[in-house]
A = this chain, B = another copy of it.
Amino acid sequence: MGKPVTTGRRAGLDRDDMVCAALALIEHEGPAALTMRRLAAALDVTTTTIYWHVGSRDELITEVIRHQSERQAGRPITGTTARERVMCAARHVWDNALDNRAITSLAHQTGTTSLLEHPLEVALGRELESAGLTGEPAARALRAILSTVGGLLVLALRNESTVPEEHRAPALWAATHGELAPATIAALTRPGDYEDLFTSTVQAVIDAHVPGPRD
């Protein structure tokens, strides 16, 4: 069953093979490695073959992100209080992004983050509604939590992305703005403990938007 190993034509490739090969390419060689020519070489075909199965590079990326979003879904949401369950749903977004950094970076670069995290965002929205939020407050809470997690992810993923060293810590900073204490300067230049930062920051945003057990 399934597709025959070798048909009478040339290659036995379909649209799904392209998407999977693209996903593997991204995971192994980074988001920048996803070019039509390199993907064609990996599949041992010409670039025009990709254009026949998939429409364009944008469509390929969309399909890759959607494919990845499907196998990200499914982690159970734990916790007894509403805030705990909302926090758990937010942490799923955080964990999945850190577990799949290459694809997350690609989604971030192409503005398809919401497509990648969509099932997890829906799960988060469901918990907010279960917490009693409806209408505009629910929408505001959802947007606030997701943007906070997204901002923290940009910070946490900045290190291994393509950021030249000179952009991080020019020596003149300490000279021109020397009034700052070393620890404060470190916050602007060096990486920190993003796990703690995630917990405290997201918890604050959740507490501000989601009614607690004794409100």
Contact = CB atoms under 8 A, between A and B. Distances in A.
Interface in A147-175: 147-152, 154-155, 158, 161-164, 166-168, 173
Nearest to A177: B122
A163 B113 CA distance: 11
Interface in A108-137: 109, 111-112, 114-115, 118-119, 121-122, 125-126, 128-129, 134-136
Given A58-B164, A201-B208, A204-B204, A140 B180 contact: no
A128 B184 CA distance: 9
A123 to B, nearest CB: 9
A184 to B, nearest CB: 5
A168 B209 CA distance: 24
Contact of A188 (B58, B122, B187, B209): B122
Given A122-B177, A125-B188, A208-B204, A183 B152 contact: no
A139 interface: yes
A188 B151 contact: no
A20 interface: no
A187 B122 contact: no
Nearest to A117: B188
Contacts of A134: 181, 183
A152 to B, nearest CB: 5
A183 B133 CA distance: 10
A37 interface: no
A207 interface: yes
Contacts of A154: 147, 150-151, 154
Nearest to A142: B187
Interface of A: 58, 62, 109, 111-112, 114-115, 118-119, 121-122, 125-126, 128-129, 134-136, 138-140, 142-144, 146-152, 154-155, 158, 161-164, 166-168, 173, 177, 179-181, 183-188, 192, 196-197, 200-201, 203-205, 207-209
